[in-house]
Structure 1
């Protein structure tokens, strides 16, 4: 159980970095409107709600002094932080079914009016707040059964699992064909998405206001309120990013000075709440023919800046971040027989494949958000065997 919780928190930390990170003009990355702790708690809470169907948060005891709530399960631990989960909600995002179930039920249940969550405080109809929390948990379970939430969660997670499976097969096939791969990791971004330091606090304030506005729209159900709630601070839309991605991939064939020895690639269309859309890419080159990986990554990044985006783009060369990654460094030259480095590489690329397992941005156009190159042909078996 502890290992599963640790893995969940690591996944959410990475998701937080994707959704809420901003690369400023000085090159430093800042988290704006971060919420990884709250999302971890909400997912853990909803799992407990749906998996432990007979458990209730509190036992209610009655004495001469009145009603008293006694915690009876770990569900009680989530009571006081319940309203914090609303900070996670954004009109720009789609949520895994059990997370969406929470938001939908919250705005239809009296629990939303418990502004100061104290379990023994009298509330409505002679019940204390803890009783209404028990009722809210029962309501979540009832609505979850009504919509078949468990099957919906399984269907939702299938896409991430299929992406991971394809990624694993693809990268292993590359290593089977080439004794050494040169791996380049480049983030392809946009200048307009890089705010000045003075704009950071303003962006943070807007992000924090979005859940409250969306909640107000749900409560009052006015068209003006709904439109107001759907404001966003993202600066690059999906059409622009898709067009530039297609332009880059089409041009690779005609740019042998950069891509002649490229043997594969993995890409992910990412979205941050301030910057909007951008690309995270891994390029695989034949390691017997390419050696200066930092330099080559810079050249590809400059090609993105000057040719593909015609001055609109910027890039970040992850191959120059070796000190930042330490022992988990998994780019640059990787030998076929280096199991440790290959495992680090798959862990790093795995986040690109499974980024949608809890939250993803609502696309304004139909598009793929993750992809790989064509599966390489298997080796003929001709030639000297590889040395271990």
Structure 2
């Protein structure tokens, strides 16, 4: 792994948010100028021609290039005049950014419909299914070193392990994953759903723990796994009547509906905490959502 000198993922998230705040938020002029001076140089020197950036970030690059031209990024100071130009130029991208956002929401909804269909088909074919949910992240103290290349490499290794049926993935019937980009700390992470044959497995917390260990091995110790299948977390969900992980029985309609709803979290564009966690940078041919039947 190549250690990045800047917080790659946080910087990208900050620039994306700045553009959306200018176009759709309540940010004031001084804040815009301050953030331009804070982010511009570090962001421009970290640009990579291989990366695919979100529409807001593309708008930032094109707008600032029109203002700065060939000047070296280190020498640029964003004064009032340049900031006004930036705001004016950015307004020309509003329609394209809104269109892109609508397309992303539509695709998220389509992904959700396909995922729900696959889950209901699985449930109709099996009397018991074991639903395991984990969030694969990076240790916060190290996450600023993780680039999108690292994340993509780690995810490919994980999917290879799943397809090969390695250790904790035996008797896996289906899985789905969603790649996201944190709002608050800007970290890359993956929401992973694993559906096992309930006639072969019943220890969901143990399996989730094994998946976490696999993730730590793949990431050479910088990975961190948040497990939703702990006894405490499941008890909390059960008290609210929304427990949809662990053992799900086909003849229990409430369990089935809860399981479908829990799974659809992966495809939900609007997260409950209000954060915007869409992946804002990717590599060519890199999917942000996928699902597969393994049986």
Superposition TM-score tier, normalisation by shorter sequence: 0.5 to 0.7
What is the deviation of 1:362?
2.1
Change in Cα spacing, 1:359 to 1:298, as seen in structure 2 (3 Å) is closer
Match status 1:302 vs 2:250: no
Change in Cα spacing, 1:240 to 1:345, as seen in structure 2 (3 Å) is same
The 5-angstrom pairing of residues 232-271 of structure 1 reads 234-271=144-181
Return the TM-score normalized by structure 2. 0.61
- In the other structure, the counterpart of 1:317 is 227
Out of 335, 348, 355, which is 2:269 matched to? 355
Kept after mapping to 1: 8 A contact 2:171/2:196: yes
Match status 1:186 vs 2:186: no
Unmatched 5+ residue regions in structure 2? 1-8, 15-19, 44-52, 64-79, 81-87
The 5-angstrom pairing of residues 81-230 of structure 1 reads 83=28, 94=54, 147=95, 154-191=102-139, 193-194=140-141
Change in Cα spacing, 1:309 to 1:175, as seen in structure 2 (3 Å) is same
Kept after mapping to 1: 8 A contact 2:137/2:189: yes
What is the deviation of 1:278?
2.2
CA distance in 1, matches of 2:93, 2:186: 34
The 5-angstrom pairing of residues 273-288 of structure 1 reads 273-274=184-185, 276-288=187-199
Unmatched 5+ residue regions in structure 1? 1-18, 21-32, 34-38, 47-77, 105-112, 114-138, 196-232, 377-388
Change in Cα spacing, 1:363 to 1:288, as seen in structure 2 (3 Å) is same
Change in Cα spacing, 1:150 to 1:182, as seen in structure 2 (3 Å) is same
Instruction: Write the deviation string for residues 131-170 of structure 1: whole angstroms up to 9, x where unpaired.
Output: xxxxxxxx9xx9799x478765543422112111111112
Aligned residues: 231
What is the deviation of 1:319?
0.3
Instruction: Write the deviation string for residues 320-352 of structure 1: whole angstroms up to 9, x where unpaired.
Output: 021343322211001123332333333333232
Provide the secondary structure at the position in 1 that maps to 2:201.
coil
Out of 350, 365, 374, which is 2:293 matched to? 374
Change in Cα spacing, 1:324 to 1:240, as seen in structure 2 (3 Å) is farther
Change in Cα spacing, 1:254 to 1:371, as seen in structure 2 (3 Å) is closer
Kept after mapping to 2: 8 A contact 1:234/1:274: no
Kept after mapping to 2: 8 A contact 1:266/1:372: yes
Return the TM-score normalized by structure 1. 0.48
Kept after mapping to 2: 8 A contact 1:237/1:276: no
- In the other structure, the counterpart of 1:50 is none
CA distance in 1, matches of 2:160, 2:280: 26
- In the other structure, the counterpart of 1:63 is none
CA distance in 2, matches of 1:190, 1:163: 26
Structure with more relative contact order (C-alpha pairs < 8 Å, separation 6 or more)? 2
CA distance in 2, matches of 1:148, 1:311: 40
Larger radius of gyration, structure 1 or 2? 1
Kept after mapping to 2: 8 A contact 1:238/1:364: yes
Query: Cα RMSD between the aligned structures?
Result: 4.3
CA distance in 1, matches of 2:35, 2:257: 32
Instruction: Write the deviation string for residues 198-242 of structure 1: whole angstroms up to 9, x where unpaired.
Output: xxxxxxxxxxxxxxxxxxxxxxxxxxxxxxxxxxx8442221121
CA distance in 2, matches of 1:314, 1:363: 21
- In the other structure, the counterpart of 2:258 is 344
What is the deviation of 1:183?
0.6
Provide the secondary structure at the position in 1 that maps to 2:287.
coil
